[in-house]
Amino acid sequence: MMSMHMLWPRDADSVKGVQIGAETAARIWRFASPYRGQVFGFLSAVILQAVLGLVPPLLFGSIIDRAIPNQDRRLLLIFAIAIVAAALLQGFVGLFERFWSSRIGEGVIFDLRVALFDHVQQLPLAFFTRTQTGTLTNRLNNDVIGAQRALTTTLGTVVSNVITLVTTLIAMFVLEWRLTLLALILTPLFVLPYRRIGRIQQGITREGMDLNAAMNSTMTERFNVAGALLVKLFGRGDDELELFADRASQVRDIGIRSAIFTRGFMTVLSLLGAIGTALVYGLGGLFALEGSFSVGELTAMGLLVGRIYMPLTGLTNARIDVLTALVSFDRVFEVLDAKSPLVDAPDARPLHRPEGRIEFRNVSFRYPRSDELIVPGLETPGASNNGAAAAEAATAPVLKNVNFTIEPGQLVAVVGPSGAGKTTLTSLIPRLYDVTDGAILVDGNDVRSVTQESLRSSIGVVVQDPHLFHESIGDNLRYAKPTATDAELVEVCRAAQIHDVIEALPAGFDTIVGERGYRMSGGEKQRLSIARMLLKDPAMVILDEATSHLDSENEAQVQAALARALTGRTSVVIAHRLSTITEADQILVLDEGRLVECGTHEMLLAADGLYADLYHLLVRDSETVLG
């Protein structure tokens, strides 16, 4: 038991003020309740192991007192067989204890991870923009394992130590109460140093974890594609090696300190145990010389006394052990309790065969504040610590009283200065956020009255920086339609002008695109993203600078493909390209969150307002580039 405690330090600071609430206990039991039969078997096995551990010392005493003096070979054989049988049975029970422990632990880990993954996926986009990915992943890994430890390792250790201590003390009191009191008087020599040394070891372990985290962070940042590229471009390979070696050496040194300290502590405990055993043998030997105590009883006492010191030291910080493990449950529940404002209404209905009519009615929107949906401890550092100005900015309206209607099949361009609210406007259509005021209607249905799945399945989105998973080209395309045939993949890739590129690759559609698609060029990623959107076959399409990474030749090809592919679909395009803007059926001009102009290209030029200024600026930029 001692080695387990030393590997997992008890952190009194981390559980200061923590209480085991009835609600938390009830929620833990709900996760554990499917395994209650196995929990009962696990605890029974732990108790039986502790009881069986008493058999050998007591039988050794009986051998010395009864079998040897009477030269009773039969009794000696029975006792010897019983000792072996007890050891075998203890080992057999230990297998069951380990089996049930692993079944319970791995089962709880699975249940918690699936529940967390499902819940986090349903949280709004604002949660992810303010949350550290590594910290969130840590909740799904380390904290889930810590929660599992509360049900198995911690529970089993505490129960085993308690049963071992109680049964051993009872047996010792029955044998000789005076020696038992002597053994108990020595317990402060174990408990007090253990608490002090445990705190030192705790500090060493915490420092080691921080140093490990720093070393792992260095590897993570330098080994992803962007980090590796930056290192190579600046020629800092030797400097990075020196930095990593420095951090790795600190991990090495703290590991050595921890190993030596742990070994020294174990040596001290062994020495104290030997002193306690020697005192018991010494005083017990005097009792034996006086005839008030048998040699066999003295032998049994010597063997039993060693069974009380380890459980006592293990139980010294039992409360901290339990609370430290339960803190992990609280951190898991903290994420599970994060409320999502984007939930389907109880009477939400599917959006059947959408035509693509989009209407904004007096729409105003502000992004949610941090305290409205962010889990404490997961927010990006500094995101909520910028003072009153940041808080005011977070609650300021991004869109203000926006009204417009897009008819089915129309191509609508959204233009405006940077920060005008263009991307926010398009994010509201698939309900990535809910409007603060007003309503957005699709085919006459408020988007809050239809199911999110049916709404989003009818909308295809291509963003400026498309994301590809570290999988094959085919898998990335089939993300839009898992049942798509090879022929369908070829068709959409030809439409997006990317099929020739794929066909030239040795593995074709089985080519792995790399992390975030880094094996593909920017233009190739864009075209793959467009192909994926076309495979989805949506009624409405949102393009956010979808051709921004294409050169002029590829842009012309993709624009022509999109013109054919988007026929009959409602298209909302955020664009700075002249061709897209001038060909739009309707142009929406945003400025500081307000819709200031709306109409065709000719109408808006004639109005000589903000659109005309933006257009003439684009024309000058285009002439500069082309010239």
Q: Is residue 42 part of a domain?
A: yes
Q: What letter would DSSP give residue 40?
A: H
Domain count, the chain: 3
Full domain range(s) for residue 84: 10-176+315-338
Residue 222 has pLDDT above 90, yes or no: no
Q: For the residues 617-621, what does the mean pLDDT come to?
A: 69
Question: Per-residue pLDDT for 194 more than 50?
Answer: yes
Kindly state the average pLDDT of the residues 414-441.
90
Half-sphere exposure (Cβ direction) of 73: Cα atoms closer than 13 Å? 0
**Residues 526-553: tens digit of each pLDDT:** 888 888 888 888 899 998 866 655 566 6
On whether both 159 and 239 belong to a single domain, the answer is: no
Same domain for 330 and 479: no
Instruction: Determine which of 186-200, 328-342, 363-377, 585-599 has the lowest per-residue pLDDT on average.
Output: 186-200
In the sheet where 445-446 sits, what is the strand order? 399-406, 358-365, 437-442, 445-446
- Residue 46 confidence (pLDDT): 85
* pLDDT above 70 coverage of the chain, percent: 78
Question: What three-state secondary structure class fits 8?
Answer: coil
Give the residue, 415 or 132, on which the prediction is more confident. 415
Give this prediction's pTM: 0.71
Q: What is the CATH number of the domain that holds 526?
A: 3.40.50.300
Tell me whether residue 370 is in a domain.
no
Q: Residue 366 falls within a domain, yes or no?
A: no
Chain position carrying tokens 């390792």: 153
Residue 550's pLDDT is what? Answer: 59
Interval 246-256 mean pLDDT: 87
Q: Is 302 helix (H, G, I), strand (E, B) or coil?
A: helix
Q: Is residue 75 part of a domain?
A: yes
pLDDT at site 405: 94
Dihedral of the alpha carbons of 590, 592, 595, 599, in degrees to the nearest 10: -30
Residue 570 has pLDDT above 70, yes or no: yes
Residues 115 and 190 in one domain: no
Q: In what order do the strands lie in the sheet with 586-591?
A: 459-462, 540-544, 570-574, 411-415, 586-591, 594-599
Q: Are 339 and 373 in contact, with CB atoms under 8 Å apart?
A: yes
pLDDT digits (tens, 9 = 90+) for 155-177: 777 888 888 888 888 888 888 88
Q: Looking at the domain assignment, is residue 113 inside a domain?
A: yes
Q: What is the mean pLDDT of the chain?
A: 79
Q: Is the dihedral of CA 213, 214, 220, 223 positive or negative?
A: negative
At 625, is the secondary structure helix, strand, or coil?
Answer: helix
Question: In 3-state terms, what secondary structure has residue 421?
Answer: coil
Residues 6+ apart with CB under 8 A from 602: none
User: Residue 347 falls within a domain, yes or no?
Assistant: no
Question: Which tops the pLDDT comparison, 333 or 386?
Answer: 333
Which of 235, 306, 237, 253 has the alpha carbon at shortest distance from 277?
A: 306
Higher pLDDT, residue 8 or 202: 202
Give the whole-angstrom CA distance, residue 559 versus residue 564: 9
Output the pLDDT for position 8: 42
pLDDT in tens, 485-529: 999 999 988 888 888 888 888 888 998 887 767 777 777 888 888
Paired strand residues for 446: 441
